[in-house]
Structure 1
């Protein structure tokens, strides 16, 4: 009898984990699409009347998981040329409007269901991410410790550089570059 109960419990917990994992993945995909639409990176047009469509449910997106910070924070990336975006409706056309970079990174707090823009987007939510990490931590962590732990994940961004640029309001820093910034075709104008 105990074995049967343990087997049922194990099967139930596996099913719950699978559903949670699927829900988390679809939430992250939806957030990428919503951010892209909001920042006018992704334009969805109806082929018949050429009007814009703002429904993220008609788009399918492929993203990569980069790593975790503890068990609560998940980092994901969309890279142009590698990951795909496609319409689930033949009557729709989709356009990606980016120019100066080719990847976007979001962090997702699984517990609080919050998203944080880390790279490529019009804005950076590193301070909010750090606050979220401190709130969910059992100990009060210093800024230096959080940044060090984030950099250990090695997701292709330097969190210390982002922190310093945000702290100094240096929005022209390379680490804060948005993919919608115009690309310089022939160098800087003097």
Structure 2
């Protein structure tokens, strides 16, 4: 009986409330792939490190603290350092491709009260700004930013039934928040 139920579940059409019109872009792999070591990684002997087994023997019995002469851990090997450098370089290269608005932001009014939190994805000037927001103090969850436009030192975001117009001011953005017929002065900070 349970097998029959699983088969029915697998072939039945899925009911969806409706697609979220968030982006038209089809997934593409990132321009900078994560660090992927070559097939010979860790098997090539570094210059000056002739011979010897680079692997550490397994710990087969408890080791007393008194048995350590200096550090509690081994120094990283050449392979460990090379891998860490590769990961750091891949992250730095990806960060260099991102725009100035990329990251997490908070929107506060003139009195410093938190209005909402934003997560923006600013991948490059030729690609649209995307993101999501979450209202604070409310019961709603996160929602996508419906529209975003940048130009001439101005940023306009449509967030549900509200609109946010900002201009850069140093490391923050300031401007106005339009919602329910009311206008408030706001600032966007990291």
Provide the TM-score with structure 1 as the length reference. Answer: 0.28
Higher helix content, 1 or 2: 1
Structure ranking higher in strand proportion: 2
> Highest relative contact order (Cα 8 Å, sep 6+), 1 or 2?
1
Quick check: which has more Rg, 1 or 2? Answer: 2
